[in-house]
Structure 1
Amino acid sequence: MNQPLTSEAPTISTWYIDPDAEDAMADGHAPIWRHLIGLVPEKDLSRAAVLDFGCNQGGFLRHLHALRPFHKALGVDIARQSVDKANALKGNLPIQYQTDTKLAGWDGEFDIAFSHEVIYLVEDIAGHAADMMRVLKSGGVYYAVTGCHTDNPLWPAWRKLVAERTNTVVQDRSVTDYARIFAEAGFQVSARKLEFDGFVPYAPGGWTPDYATALDYYTQTKIVFRLVKS
């Protein structure tokens, strides 16, 4: 049975029903991660504690450390096999991975946090916002990226595909819904379009109906929220 992603959600085995899709997802996200890291104004993370919420196989934190080395990091995900692989791949990096998305015991721990295409799966988004407020230090920043929102013209088709291909339950929220909920939790909310400036591979049979739509999605539809704990 599909399970919602919440701070109290049980774990699942894999995100995708087809476990081979996990590796493909990480490969596809890598250029987006690098672009996101380039957008973040926090350049020196050498003393920073970093959180990746919805870390999957840990690829984002490995990319981040290669580009902007951090002091320590935690990645959390409800998918057990993904967390196992993340731990196997981390080598000697100062990263811990776990399936406990409640983040108990991490109050006031993190300087900066990230999530990439995760918040649209969080059933209790207000609870998630409160959790992120709790675990960030004063002045800490949470970058939450998503193109899966009801302002995306592809969303009616995508929500059906997500339900068919993954072990998760999707949620219907607009960009304004996210801004309002995080503001109500106490965050200073700002946002921008991701405006990916790299080359988008031609991948027929993917999530977009044609190549022009794929180009528009990565440049115009994906949103980066910058959420500051004041």
Structure 2
Amino acid sequence: MTSSIPTWYVDPDAEAAMAEGHAPIWRHLIGLMPEHDLSTKTVLDFGCNQGGFLRHLHALRPFRKALGVDIAEQSVARANDLKGMLPVQYQTDVQLVGWDDQFDIAISHEVIYLIEDLAGHAQDILRVLKPGGVYYAVTGCHSDNPLWPRWRDLVAERTNTVVQDRSITDYAEIFKAAGFLVTARKLDFDGFLPYMPSGWLPDFRDTLDYYTQTKIVFRLIKRNDTEC
């Protein structure tokens, strides 16, 4: 996941629809984070797309500054158009050169399943986090998801990306090997979900099960230098 692409989706109009669908999930995720006061914190959104998550985060828990990175050039351009006066910078350089030990919190939402060199990504995030910093990596795209065989085909058909096959334990092992303290929970969304047929979740029951039982939130902690 190093070279840039024009858009994530083959149909560029799908980008805005994706952000609209993710909005209630982002708000729920923010509510799960124990870091309530972000007024002195620096935040990284890895795979920021059009910047929607950072706009939601700042509205609910204002941060000092943030960086959003994404390989989709048109998405980054749109994020810049929409950011207004927010203290946010966007870029397509996902290698995070020059950002060592800069972030208190890093977040990715439905990104890690697309990263071929996930071990390298884990090392990059560990490098740019401050000691004690936390990485929230959120995904329902894993081989333990009963819809995964169907989704693999849809990702290939609808997006400009290449999907990777990993289980929940595979993710945990890779981040542990990088040096993170690995914890996780189910997203366990507790709000009302709209009925919005899209092909990804073929039955409304699948929608309810996915957002309560299948989608995982990893909370990955960079140990302080004094911790063994």
TM-score (normalised: structure 2): 0.97
Cα shift readout 1:170-189 (whole Å, capped 9, x = no counterpart): 00000000000000000000
Q: Does 1:122 align with 2:115?
A: yes
The letter for the 2-side match of 1:90 is K
- Show the counterpart of 2:3: 10
Shift of 1:158: 0.2
Alignment of 1:1-230 (within 5 A): 6=1, 9-230=2-223
Question: How many residue pairs are counted as aligned between the two chains?
Answer: 223
CA distance in 2, matches of 1:91, 1:52: 17
Moved over 2 A (4+): none
Cα shift readout 1:117-172 (whole Å, capped 9, x = no counterpart): 00000010000000000000000000000000000000000011001000000000
CA distance in 1, matches of 2:183, 2:125: 16
Shift of 1:109: 0.4
CA distance in 2, matches of 1:46, 1:207: 37
Cα RMSD for the two superposed structures: 0.5
Shift of 1:203: 1.6
What's the secondary structure of 1:105's corresponding residue?
coil
Instruction: Name the structure, 1 or 2, with higher relative contact order (CA <8 Å, separation 6+).
Output: 1
CA distance in 1, matches of 2:80, 2:178: 32
Cα shift readout 1:48-76 (whole Å, capped 9, x = no counterpart): 00000000000000000000000000000
Shift of 1:10: 1.1
Shift of 1:206: 2.9
Cα shift readout 1:69-124 (whole Å, capped 9, x = no counterpart): 00000000000000000000000000000000010000000000100000000010
CA distance in 2, matches of 1:46, 1:209: 41
User: Structure 2: any 5+ residue segments left out of the alignment?
Assistant: 224-228
TM-score (normalised: structure 1): 0.96
Q: 1:216 to 1:11 in 2, by over 3 A?
A: same
- Show the counterpart of 1:3: none
What's the secondary structure of 2:71's corresponding residue?
coil
Instruction: Give the share of equivalent positions with the same residue, in percent.
Output: 77
Moved more, 195-204 or 26-35: 195-204
Cα shift readout 1:10-63 (whole Å, capped 9, x = no counterpart): 100000000000000000000000000000000010000000000000000000
